[in-house]
């Protein structure tokens, strides 16, 4: 009874482990990578920062406003004993006809500190101010348009990075699928090789096969087992790689879903190039960089223009903090100003900024041309790869069917004594090679299709 319970418990553990192993589709792996990839996280943050920059530059069209509050405490000693006597006499109501009144502003706030000869005065001041730039050479206009162009460029950079990450995950996903198929082929090969070894051993015992034939098959069986071990290692390696890139702990037990190979209808290469050079994120992003540089040049020109601004401020002072919120006709001041200024000389800062802006514009134009050429090159390479992969896949499929039929035929002939051992071994190796080649061709086709989509910026 105890043994049965242990067996049942072990079965539950194994069953739970198989249930807990999650299976992910290609779309799910891509989504997980998009959410966790550090480069994409960085690009998303750049997009958010660029959006904040647009709001900041839009603030150049609005007035600046500020409020202020100041609390002041002044402690001073009288200049002479006569000053203190006169002031105290005045405050106590004994005002002589020839009394000279000093510091009338401080009368109501006279305080005696720890030193009987000191006078302490407290005041509270509040104010508001508004400033608005009427004209600054249109720098606020060009800065705003430049920030919008920069935001657009970050959007394109993110789209381009997203395409690269998607391609990378597809490539790793296909590698795992290839490794799984290689492992399946290796298992079938080992099983077939083991059956042949048993057959040769039986024939040897019956005297219809030589020891040499048995030993050669043992060597082949050992080689097939080594191939199986390598296939198992490759599968674990590629699973770990994919796990890291989709945000999983490599120790996590998981699997991926199989994919049906679907051939795609590929457009004419000229049509692909025309579409990509007009809509590829990297091309559009490089054009946005040119726009940013253009607006930067115009903003630099604006620094040679005069500045015109208007300002207004209002402030009031009270002796007590509780009175600061009270508005009255006393203790306040206001100022309205209009300022026209022109920078005659600033240590060649304007010249430096202009030179820097023009250099950035030239760099952006050169980069845009180079980016366009790279896109065209990548499309041509990807189109050639998928053309070759398509033809290779057709050849390997036909070769695999022929090798499988040949293996069945040679084995039947060998069983009847009409075929030699070397023919059977040769057919076995040919079938193994054809099966691996077919798996490789399927991987190459899927990878070439993903590469073309990536070259198109999709």
3-class DSSP string for the chain: CHHHHHHHHHHHHHHHHHHHCEEECHHHHHHHHHHHCHHHHHHHHHHHHHHHHHHHHHHHHCCEEEEEEEEEEEEECCCCHHHHHHHHHHHCCCCCCCCCCCCHHHHHHCEECCCCCCEEEEEEEEEEEEEEEEECCCHHHHHHHHHHHHHHHHHHHHHHHHHHHHHHHHHHHHHHHHHHHHHHHHHHHHHHHHHHHHHHHHHHHHCCCCHHHHHHHHHHHHHHHHHHHHHHHHHHHHHHHHHHHCCCCCCCCEEECCCCCCCCCCCCHHHHHHHHHHHCHHHHHHHHHHHHHHHHHHHHHHCCCCEEEEEEEEEEEECCHHHCCCCCCCCEEEEEEEEEECCCCCCCHHHHHHHHHHHHHHHHHHHHHHHHHHHHHHHHHHHHHHHHHHHHHHHHHHHHHHHHHHHHHHHHHHHCCCCCHHHHHHHHHHHHHHHHHHHHHHHHHHHHHHHHHHHCCC
Q: Which domain holds residue 426?
A: 22-62+137-306+345-455
88 compared with 259, residue with greater pLDDT = 259
Tell me: do 190 and 153 sit in the same domain: yes
Model pLDDT for residues 50-86, shown as the tens digit of each residue: 999 999 999 989 999 999 888 888 877 665 555 444 4
Q: What is the mean pLDDT of residues 195-221?
A: 84
- Does position 89 have pLDDT exceeding 80, yes or no? no
Confidence of residue 299 (pLDDT cuts 50, 70, 90): very high
Tell me: do 396 and 374 sit in the same domain: yes
Of 326, 341, 356, the position where a domain reaches its end is 341
89 compared with 350, residue with greater pLDDT = 350
Distances (CA, A) of 304 to 205, 247, 290, 342, 357: 103, 53, 22, 8, 14
74 torsion bin: left (phi>0), alpha (psi -120 to 50), beta (else): beta
In a domain, 291, yes or no: yes
- Does position 393 have pLDDT exceeding 80, yes or no? yes
**Closest to 382 (Cα-Cα) out of 293, 245, 262, 273:** 273
Tell me: do 207 and 334 sit in the same domain: no
Determine the Cα–Cα distance for residues 245 and 37; give it in Å rounded to an integer.
7
Tell me: do 430 and 336 sit in the same domain: no
Q: What is the mean pLDDT of residues 432-437?
A: 85
Average pLDDT, the chain: 83
Q: What is the mean pLDDT of residues 335-340?
A: 92
pLDDT for residue 265: 81
Determine the Cα–Cα distance for residues 284 and 49; give it in Å rounded to an integer.
20
In a domain, 444, yes or no: yes
Determine the Cα–Cα distance for residues 405 and 389; give it in Å rounded to an integer.
24
- Does position 12 have pLDDT exceeding 70, yes or no? no
pLDDT for residue 159: 94
- Does position 430 have pLDDT exceeding 50, yes or no? yes
286 compared with 259, residue with greater pLDDT = 286
Percentage of residues of the chain with pLDDT beyond 70? 84
- Does position 91 have pLDDT exceeding 50, yes or no? no
* Most confident of the ranges 112-116, 221-225, 428-432: 221-225
153 compared with 419, residue with greater pLDDT = 153
Tell me: do 144 and 186 sit in the same domain: yes
The length of the chain is 458
Tell me: do 197 and 231 sit in the same domain: yes
What does the radius of gyration of the chain's CA atoms come to, in whole angstroms? 43
Q: Taking the C-alpha atoms of 214, 220, 221 and 227 in order, what is their torsion angle to the nearest 10 degrees?
A: 180
295 compared with 15, residue with greater pLDDT = 295
- Does position 196 have pLDDT exceeding 50, yes or no? yes
pLDDT for residue 327: 62
In a domain, 254, yes or no: yes
Kindly give the pairing relationship between strand 332-341 and strand 307-318: antiparallel
Which position has the token pair 């994409």?
40
- Does position 93 have pLDDT exceeding 60, yes or no? no
Determine the Cα–Cα distance for residues 157 and 371; give it in Å rounded to an integer.
13
- Does position 5 have pLDDT exceeding 60, yes or no? no
Tell me: do 294 and 398 sit in the same domain: yes
Determine the Cα–Cα distance for residues 45 and 39; give it in Å rounded to an integer.
10
Model pLDDT for residues 142-183, shown as the tens digit of each residue: 999 999 999 999 999 999 999 999 999 999 999 998 899 889
Q: Taking the C-alpha atoms of 180, 181, 185 and 188 in order, what is their torsion angle to the nearest 10 degrees?
A: 70
In a domain, 169, yes or no: yes
Tell me: do 253 and 291 sit in the same domain: yes
pTM above 0.75, yes or no: yes
Tell me: do 90 and 40 sit in the same domain: no
- Token pair, residue 221, equals 């069986």
Tell me: do 232 and 297 sit in the same domain: yes
Determine the Cα–Cα distance for residues 145 and 152; give it in Å rounded to an integer.
11
The total number of structural domains in the chain stands at: 2
pLDDT for residue 78: 61
Confidence of residue 203 (pLDDT cuts 50, 70, 90): confident
Determine the Cα–Cα distance for residues 386 and 264; give it in Å rounded to an integer.
10
Percentage of residues of the chain with pLDDT beyond 90? 44
pLDDT for residue 97: 43
**Quick check: 120 and 73 in contact, CB under 8 A?**
yes
In a domain, 356, yes or no: yes
CATH value at residue 178:
1.20.1600.10
Kindly give the pairing relationship between strand 22-24 and strand 254-256: parallel
- Does position 112 have pLDDT exceeding 80, yes or no? no
Q: What is the mean pLDDT of residues 333-347?
A: 90
Determine the Cα–Cα distance for residues 80 and 57; give it in Å rounded to an integer.
59
pLDDT for residue 312: 93
In a domain, 4, yes or no: no
Determine the Cα–Cα distance for residues 278 and 287; give it in Å rounded to an integer.
11
Confidence of residue 107 (pLDDT cuts 50, 70, 90): very low
pLDDT for residue 407: 85
pLDDT for residue 328: 63
In a domain, 7, yes or no: no
pLDDT for residue 125: 87
In a domain, 358, yes or no: yes
- Does position 372 have pLDDT exceeding 90, yes or no? yes
Of 288, 321, 341, the position where a domain reaches its end is 341
Determine the Cα–Cα distance for residues 235 and 173; give it in Å rounded to an integer.
11
Confidence of residue 124 (pLDDT cuts 50, 70, 90): confident
Tell me: do 123 and 31 sit in the same domain: no
Confidence of residue 234 (pLDDT cuts 50, 70, 90): very high
Tell me: do 423 and 291 sit in the same domain: yes
pLDDT for residue 284: 94
């Amino acid at each position: 009874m105890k043994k049965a319970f242990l067996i049942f418990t072990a079965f539950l553990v194994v069953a739970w482990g198989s249930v807990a192993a999650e299976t992910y589709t290609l779309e799910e792996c891509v989504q997980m990578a998009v959410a966790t990839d550090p480069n994409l996280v960085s690009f998303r943050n750049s997009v958010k920062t660029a959006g904040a920059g647009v709001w900041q530059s839009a603030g150049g069209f609005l007035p600046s406003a500020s409020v202020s509050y100041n609390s002041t405490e002044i402690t001073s000693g009288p200049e002479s004993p006569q000053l203190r006597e006169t002031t105290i006499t005045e405050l106590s109501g004994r005002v002589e006809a020839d009394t000279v009144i000093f510091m009338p502003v401080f009368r109501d706030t006279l305080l005696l500190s720890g030193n009987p000869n000191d006078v302490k005065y407290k005041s509270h001041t509040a104010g508001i101010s508004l400033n608005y730039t009427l004209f600054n050479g249109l720098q606020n206009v060009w800065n705003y348009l430049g920030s919008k162009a920069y935001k657009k460029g970050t959007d394109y950079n993110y789209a381009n990075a997203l395409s690269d990450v998607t391609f990378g995950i597809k490539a790793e996903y296909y590698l795992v699928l290839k490794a799984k198929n290689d492992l399946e082929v290796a298992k079938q090969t080992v099983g077939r090789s083991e059956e042949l070894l048993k057959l040769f051993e039986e024939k040897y015992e019956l005297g219809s096969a030589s020891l040499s034939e048995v030993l050669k098959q043992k060597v082949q069986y050992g080689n097939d087992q080594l191939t199986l071990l390598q296939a198992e290692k490759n599968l674990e390696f590629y699973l770990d790689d994919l796990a890291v890139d989709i945000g999983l702990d490599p120790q996590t037990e998981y699997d991926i879903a199989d994919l049906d190979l679907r051939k795609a209808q590929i457009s004419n290469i000229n049509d692909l190039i025309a579409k990509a050079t007009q809509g590829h994120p990297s091309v559009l992003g490089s054009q946005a960089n040119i726009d940013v540089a253009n607006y930067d040049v115009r903003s630099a020109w604006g620094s040679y223009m005069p500045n015109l601004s208007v300002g207004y401020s209002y402030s009031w002072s009270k002796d007590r903090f509780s009175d600061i919120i009270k508005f009255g006709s006393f203790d306040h001041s206001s100022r309205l100003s209009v300022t026209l200024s022109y920078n005659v000389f600033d240590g060649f800062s304007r010249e430096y900024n202009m030179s820097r802006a023009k250099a950035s514009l030239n760099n952006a134009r050169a980069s845009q041309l180079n980016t366009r050429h790279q896109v065209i090159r990548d499309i041509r390479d990807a189109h050639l790869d998928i053309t070759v992969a398509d033809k290779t896949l057709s050849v390997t499929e036909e070769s695999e069917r022929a090798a499988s039929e040949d293996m069945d035929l040679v084995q039947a002939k060998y069983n009847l004594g009409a075929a030699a051992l070397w023919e059977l071994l040769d057919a076995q190796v040919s079938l193994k090679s054809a099966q691996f080649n077919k798996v490789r061709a399927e991987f190459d086709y899927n990878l070439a299709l993903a590469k073309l989509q990536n070259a198109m910026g999709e």
